[in-house]
Chain A
């Protein structure tokens, strides 16, 4: 009976220490989600709009850069703020696609179909990046924080907007060592 008690005690201690070690590992990092607000101007005379950017432009990245273990684009939202001329608010699109280009490779981060300027005029439209794409981008961003946002609009019929002033909000997950 004595040997059984000692054995049970030993097993308990090992189990609890094992869980303790796993849990201590869990507390070594924290993941915060941060919205990065990027202002974009889409001109009617070009279907593709290119906006260079850099993670160092954002305080949450800059302030924690020496402790970042990973960074991943999670969700993306887009909304128009101003449209010129005003009646172009009815402009419809077959699709609006958004990409991030890192080291000359393009990654699709959002796509909206059958949408008008009115649908997104000061109303956020949201899409989520698939896990595989997010993982691949994460590896690229850890090497190079510079990236380019690209938006490609495919309108129905003629384009009659001159420009759309908009905001793309990219929510990134940043894993930081504590």
Chain B
């Protein structure tokens, strides 16, 4: 069994090395319909989608908190679904700097049947999960720079999504006699011809027994978890995420276990894409300098979620453990998973 664990670790190390030695490939390119986006608009439009991805990655980091003092190996698969709140269906799209300056342009928008004149600063537009967008019509006051560039602008519409499935997660689970559990994820898949490599490392450590918190009661456990994920496509995507939390569980003999948890999480990194087949003359009418120049779309990766609170149930059938969670985060979620316990021994 120890030899099998060593082999597994060797395979993991080889994967890590092969990734680290890989050379930079072709940049990510946005197809033509996205050429109208500025970097700020792309970030706002896609932020809820990145939130869904971040929440998916930080789901199913554990089940019960009663980690036993034995070795164990398992494979776990889980899936999640997120409810998209109304607050994540719109974002504030930055308007051209001189919109609202009536010496340079007069603009107006017809929003839900109401006419607004000379809008400036930001305009509420749909995210990828939202609905219709509202164009802003603009009449330049002069035929010279900068006025002549201050023309009308329109925005992408959302896809009217209220429930979004998350990214399914497949992970290896290792239990140690120190009442420690390590979960490891590795995934590689092509993104426009280049590999995106994802790693996730999760550490769960039971600690209630150190402080005799539950006394004689052996049906409860308290543990801490710490997690780090990284996803990289060179060039184009550089993502990291960190999570830490506490979870508690209670076992009801011959019935099931229940657990509850509180978790902090975040996401960071950068996304960069070039504008595919950009032709300057095609975008001369855009009021945004960035679009007229065909500049790369670059934005920081962010998530709306900082905390989650959730509870779940777990039921073991021989080598199979079934779990289901309900939780509240910026995107309330439901998730479920199966763990196949391959072996355990003292």
Contacts and interface: CB of A to CB of B under 8 A. Distances in A.
Question: Do A and B interact with each other, yes or no?
Answer: yes
26 contacts: A2-B317, A8-B324, A9-B322, A9-B336, A12-B324, A16-B336, A19-B81, A30-B159, A32-B154, A32-B157, A33-B155, A34-B36, A35-B151, A35-B152, A35-B285, A59-B281, A60-B32, A75-B135, A77-B152, A79-B137, A122-B106, A122-B141, A123-B108, A123-B139, A128-B113, A169-B137
A155 B32 CA distance: 43
Given A33-B133, A35-B153, A124 B138 contact: yes
Contacts of A178: 31
Nearest to B313: A5
Given A35-B152, A64-B33, 17 more contacts: A9-B322, A12-B324, A12-B336, A16-B81, A19-B81, A20-B165, A30-B33, A30-B156, A33-B155, A35-B137, A37-B151, A59-B281, A77-B152, A81-B139, A122-B140, A124-B106, A171-B137
Contacts of B315: 5
Contacts, number: 116
B156 A37 contact: no
Interface residues of A, number: 43
Given A64-B32, A124-B108, A126-B137, A34 B154 contact: yes
A106 interface: no
B36 A63 contact: no
Interface of B: 31-33, 36, 79, 81, 106-110, 113, 115, 133, 135, 137-141, 151-157, 159-161, 163-165, 255, 277, 279, 281-283, 285, 315, 317, 322, 324, 334, 336
A126 B255 CA distance: 65
B48 to A, nearest CB: 13
A140 B155 CA distance: 24
Interface of A: 1-2, 5, 8-9, 12-13, 16, 19-20, 23, 26-27, 30-35, 37, 59-60, 63-64, 74-75, 77, 79, 81, 122-128, 167, 169, 171, 173-174, 176, 178
A27 B141 CA distance: 40
Nearest to A169: B152
